[in-house]
Amino acid sequence: MQKSDRFIDLEGELLRLKEQFLPEISPISSYSEREIALTIAYIVLTHAEIEAYLEDRVWEIAVHSKNKWVSERLASRTLITLLAFSGQKMELPPDTLTPVQGSREISPEKIKIDKKIELALNAFYRIKENNHGLKEANLLALLLPIGIDSDDLDSVMLATMDTFGEQRGFIAHKSATFYRATQLPDPASELTKIEQITQEILRLDNLISNLM
């Protein structure tokens, strides 16, 4: 599969985190407290890197779709879905551009497609900026508006990301002592999980690139 520049950056960061935080895999799963603490840090930091990657990529394609419209007046699939998922009312055209009663001006967002596109981009930007996770709801909010088809979102992948997001949230909102007492992370399992997620992200990366 082809890899975007942003995905290549993600791979490099994930490799760096692996080398800096994960201990050598023990065949008997025996790790020191320090190695467990580093594994916990690895979970949190890899989550952050993957989250940042997705936010960057979806915004890249959103801006590309707007630029395509501005420069060539071409409405891409992404532009259409940004409008469709923006929350704007799909109202019928007004009866006249010069109403006699009430306000003598019709607001641009009711009649100007450029204004509707601007509002859609602004709405999506707020979604991206306020995103804090990798759970299914987060992924749908980021991916559907840029034109990723729901049929291309594998249910197993969504479930895996849900579990990963819940794990990261549990770690982030509990003390290290509490987490170690309830669920010790296994470095080998965490590495395998990140490798599997990375392959799913690569598939998404290709789907996003196909929208360019």
Q: Are 197 and 160 in contact (CB under 8 A)?
A: yes
Q: Which of 126-130, 178-182, 205-209 has the lowest mean pLDDT?
A: 178-182
Q: How far is it, in rounded angstroms, from Cα 85 to Cα 124? A: 9
Q: Are 65 and 82 in contact (CB under 8 A)?
A: yes
- Condensed to tens digits (0 to 9), the pLDDT of residues 61-101 reads 999 999 999 999 999 999 999 999 998 888 788 777 777 66
Domains of the chain, by residue range, sit at: 5-87+105-209
Position 90 scores a pLDDT of 80
- Condensed to tens digits (0 to 9), the pLDDT of residues 166-182 reads 888 777 666 666 656 56
In a 13 Å sphere around the CA of 179, the CA atoms on its Cβ side amount to 21
Mean pLDDT value across residues 126-134 = 94
* Stronger pLDDT, 29 or 3, i.e. the higher one: 3
Mean pLDDT value across residues 24-48 = 90
Answer yes or no: pTM beyond 0.75: yes
Q: How far is it, in rounded angstroms, from Cα 189 to Cα 25? A: 10
> What residue has token string 């419209």?
69
Which of these, 209, 206, 198, lies nearest to 11 by C-alpha position?
198
Position 50 scores a pLDDT of 97
Position 97 scores a pLDDT of 77
